């Protein structure tokens, strides 16, 4: 039986003379929660837009189970990209109410679960009669989350869903997401800047940097091979020789580097060095932050 997957091949997106995505190849398997992380302007939203056929790619293809996604109703019925809602629409206050968005979603999304949507509205304590222009960022995020979760789409993309949510609601979101994932086996792709909080939820992480996918890996495996080495500069250089290093920091005679170990590699150094595991946020900053080597 052919396994369900959403595949992007050679995706290029250009706006004017600027390349936003460079030859991105990506395969999303069914039944996983992916974390899509990248700096501002890395191309996360553009990539999600193209994967969901909301925007055309300049080059490249996106297929769902071998079917092109672009203008294909059959494929699009399985994909949902719940976008950020703006309180301002073309320089005019957004007069739509939350219920207008939910009503439209219930019409357009074939798998829409109204009961689930109603439960989420209640749990989020969302006033559905309030206009988007009068809503806080957190409330607008709630609408996005409700649409994404209640869509019941096989591939669901959320773009910074927790922006503006307070910590209680963020916890509730992650709990509900995991519950929904466990019950349905849907694939979720979540882009976020609050990496450490979401890291436990991500089965795989996709790192995007300046329009390139620089890493796509199982989160635990990635964290298993990422290490921060610090100590005297000469010791650190000796220990990290031949290893893939990132993000060097120098302070006087001391030095710190991030390394990503390949299979079979290990760090030699003994007690002269401090070798620490890293969390996902630290790995991301090392790979995509400034002063990287």
Partner 1 sequence: MKGYLRGMFYWVCCLEKLFFSILGGVVVVFAVFAFVDKDMEQFYRWTLSYMPMMGVIFFIAGGINIANEQIPMVMSLGTTRKEAAWGVIIAMHGTALQFWILTIVYNAFLPPTYVVDSYVKVCGVLFLFGCAGGNGLGAVVLRFGSKVGLRVYLCSLFLLVGGGIFIVKLAGAAAVISFISSMGVLVAAILFDAAVSAVYRMSIRNYEVRV
Residues that bind partner 1 in the complex, under the rule CB under 8 A: 45, 49, 52-56, 71-73, 76-77, 79-86, 89-92, 94, 96, 101, 104-105, 107-110, 147, 153
Please identify, using beta-carbon distances, which residue of 42 and 153 lies nearer to partner 1: 153
Instruction: For the sheet with 18-29, list strands across it.
Output: 18-29, 5-15, 59-64, 67-68
CA distance 259 to 228: 6
Q: What span, in angstroms and rounded, lies between the C-alpha atoms of 109 and 155?
A: 13
Is residue 257 within 8 A of residue 229, CB to CB? The reply is yes
CB of 207 to partner 1, least distance (A): 23
Report in angstroms how near the CB of residue 155 gets to partner 1 at its nearest. 11
Q: How many CB atoms are closer than 10 A to CB 244?
A: 12
Q: Which is nearer to partner 1, 149 or 285 (CB)?
A: 149
Residue nearer to partner 1 on the CB measure, 108 or 220 = 108
Dist. CA 12–CA 267, nearest whole Å:
38
Q: Tell me which long-range contacts 45-49 makes (C-beta under 8 A, separation of at least 24).
A: 45/159, 45/191, 46/13, 46/20, 46/21, 47/8, 47/11, 47/21, 47/208, 48/81, 48/157, 48/159, 48/189, 48/191, 49/81
Q: How far is the CB of 61 from partner 1 (least distance, A)?
A: 16
Ramachandran bin of 86, using left for φ above 0, alpha for ψ from -120 to 50, beta for the remaining angles: beta
The minimum distance between CB 127 and partner 1, in angstroms, equals 19
Q: Given the complex with partner 1, which of 139 and 153 has the nearer CB atom?
A: 153
d(CA 82, CA 84): 7
Name the minimum Å distance from CB 55 to partner 1.
Answer: 4
Q: Which is nearer to partner 1, 13 or 228 (CB)?
A: 13
Q: CA 57 to CA 96: how far, in whole Å? A: 29
* Closest to 154 measured CA to CA, from 256, 98, 78, 81: 78
Q: How far is the CB of 30 from partner 1 (least distance, A)?
A: 18
Nearer to partner 1, 79 or 280 (CB): 79
| Nearest to partner 1 of 53, 205 (CB atom) | 53
Supply the minimum distance, in Å, between the C-beta of residue 140 and partner 1.
11
């Amino acid at each position: 039986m052919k396994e369900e997957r959403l595949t992007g091949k050679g995706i290029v997106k250009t706006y004017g003379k600027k390349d936003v995505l460079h030859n991105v190849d990506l395969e999303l398997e069914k039944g996983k929660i992916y974390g899509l992380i990248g700096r501002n302007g890395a191309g996360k939203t553009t990539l999600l837009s193209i994967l969901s056929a909301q925007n055309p790619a300049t080059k490249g293809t996106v297929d769902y189970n071998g079917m092109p996604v672009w203008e294909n109703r059959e494929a699009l019925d399985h994909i949902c990209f719940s976008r950020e809602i703006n309180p301002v629409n073309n320089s005019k206050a957004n007069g739509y109410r939350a219920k207008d968005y939910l009503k439209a979603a219930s019409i357009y999304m074939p798998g829409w679960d109204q009961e689930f949507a109603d439960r989420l509205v209640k749990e989020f304590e969302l006033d559905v009669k309030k206009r988007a222009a009068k809503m806080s960022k957190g409330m607008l995020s709630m609408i996005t989350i409700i649409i994404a979760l209640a869509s019941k789409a096989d591939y669901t993309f959320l773009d910074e869903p927790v922006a503006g949510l307070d910590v209680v609601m963020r916890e509730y979101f992650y709990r509900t997401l995991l519950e929904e994932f466990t019950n349905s086996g849907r694939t979720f792709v979540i882009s976020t800047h609050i990496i450490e909080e979401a890291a436990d939820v991500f089965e795989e992480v996709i790192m995007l940097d300046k329009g390139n996918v620089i890493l796509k890996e199982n989160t635990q495996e990635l964290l298993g091979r990422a290490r921060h080495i610090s100590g005297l500069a000469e010791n650190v250089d000796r220990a990290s020789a031949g290893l893939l290093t990132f993000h060097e920091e120098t302070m006087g005679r001391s030095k710190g580097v991030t390394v990503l170990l390949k299979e079979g590699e290990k760090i030699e150094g003994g007690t002269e060095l401090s070798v620490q595991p890293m969390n996902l946020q630290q790995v991301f900053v090392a790979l995509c932050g400034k002063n990287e080597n």
